Structure formats: structure tokens, C-alpha cells
Amino acid sequence: MALDPYTEGVRRLMSAAYPDVGGAVTDAAEARRRHERARFPRGPHVGEVRDIVIPGTPDVPARVYRPAEAGPTPPVVVYLHGGGFVLCDLDSHDGICRILADGTPAIVVSVDYRRAPEHPYPAAVDDAFTAVRWVHAVGAAALGGDPDRIAVAGDSAGGNLATVCCLRARDTGGPPIRFQLLVYPVTDCLADWSDDPDGQLMTSRHMRWYVAQYLSERAHGEQAYASPLRAGSLAGLPPAFVLTVEHDPLRAEGEAYAARLAADGVPVQAHRVTGLFHGAFGLGALLPAARRCEELACDALRAGLAAPHDLTTPTGPEPGRMSQPRRVGR
């Protein structure tokens, strides 16, 4: 369905401020300067927010969000922001991390991974996985969280990094990850993206430019850690919640990835939100449908990270089965 007039108005305002990457803007530094002028919803109040540095080679900056009411040992969510592997940072996704910390509730560790083109693939993957390993080995306990209840989450490019961390953990023997939340994830860096005539924020041209910055060699896009949809098998990954939106060049590959997870025996739930565009996650203060996305994400994290004594109903479909995409209206 086409965007309703109000949602289309919001999209047009965002498009006016969004750098036309791959078109009028081809320099990553200039794209960042333009994007940083954008304003993002503040998000709810949480108990504590502080910046930390995760030790590694190199060290990885991060930001920790502690919910106001979380219980004695809350779960921990490692969050990887979107932005095409090029744009965005801790500040652009501050509101989203507050929403997840407050709504789950959980300690959220937002990761400031290195960005392309200065640091092409696999630098972002390495930083994301460094953060996940640190959270399990040291960070969760040091922050007062539960190292046995860790989720990875991310939107767009961050959704790619989140599920790639799950693949890498499976392939290297850990750390254990309880759950993955993937919001309109990039799952195939070599996809043939198409545009939606009914209105979208991100276009196929934008995606081609992002991938060109991220992959120093096109052949890298064939690798599972760049394009998880191309992995030989997804068996053994943690349960997943895959959220897509109707007006998005990434919708098809996100839903294809959910189907592949199910086919390989991974418990997965897939939801498509109608009447919404890519980039709307976190805009619940402006758009009711975006608020529904946030509620779905927090519900999924709560269920996926519930302590054993909290489980009174099944948290998802049986292994190997995927729920049909549920379309949430405007």
C-alpha cells in the first residue's frame, strides 16, 4: 500500500536531509557531514548512560545503557547501528538504544565499529565480534548483567553485522548467543535491489554506493560474513526475529533470510510492517507504525532473553518453522 499522506510527509522531510549518496554526494566524509546535521528522536529516560572502551586490536568504543528498572541481573543486548557501513554512529542511534533498554528491559551495549571506506570489510565484522566476545567474557558481569542471556541486534547494515556475529560464533565455538534481532537487515551485498514507486527513503542507488564503499573487492560479497544469505548453511544459529518494512529495497532479502533460517532449522519469527519505509525504526514518537515496530522488537527481545523461570509460554515457532510475515497496518 502507498504511504499515507502524513507518513509520506515525514519521509519527504527526511529525504530532504538525507545525503544523496551515489548521486549528488559521492564522498563518504561529505555524506557524514550532511547526515550528522539530522535530528533524531531522543528516546525514553533510562537509569544510566556512559561511554566505555572495549579492549581489542584496535580498541572499540561503545556506549552502555542501563534501564531504570532491570532487576538484579538483566540480560544484555549488543546493538550494531545501521548506516550502510558508512554513516551513523552512537549518537544517531542513541534513541533506539534507549527504547530497547527501557522496553526489554536490558543493558544495551551500542558498538561504535569502524566504518567504510576508510575501514572496509571485514573491519566492522571484527569490531562487532570483539564486542560480543568481550560482553560474554567480561562485560556482562562487570556491568551487572547476565552473561548467559546475551542477544545481538541491529538495523540495516547493523542487522547484517548482528547475524554475522552469530555465524562467526557458531563457526569458532562461541561465545553463546541467546537471540538475534534483525531489523530490515542487509543479507546480500550483491543483491539486485529494486525501487518502490510508492515511496521510500533509501534507494537501490544508495545501496550500490554503500556496498562499493564497504567491499574493497566485489568478490568479498560472496563470502558469508559479508552476505549471510549466501552462507552454505545457517543451521545452529540462535533463534531470530526478523522485522521488515513494506517500502524498502532490503525487504526481499530480509524475508528471504528469515525463510533460509527456518529451512535450516532455526526458530524464527518474521514480521512485515506495511505502510512504512526503511529508516523508520526509532521514529515511534512521530509515526504510529514505527512505534509498533519498537513494540515488536522489545517483545521479541523479552521473550528471547527470558530467564528459564519466566518462560510460561513458547517464545516462537517450533524449530525449523517460520511464522508467516504478519503485516502491521498503518
The residues that are catalytic are: 156
What is the Cα–Cα distance from 152 to 172, expressed in whole angstroms? 17
Bridge partners for 182 per DSSP: 154, 242
CB contact at 8 A, 207 and 249: yes
Judged on CB neighbours under 10 Å (0-12, 13-18, 19+), 308 is exposed
146 Ramachandran zone, left/alpha/beta (phi>0; psi -120 to 50): beta
Burial 41-80, CB ≥16 within 10 A → b, else e: bebeebeebeeeebeeeeebbbbbbbbeebeebbbbbbbb
User: Whole-angstrom Cα distance, residue 13 to residue 9?
Assistant: 6
DSSP lists the bridge partners of residue 12 as: none
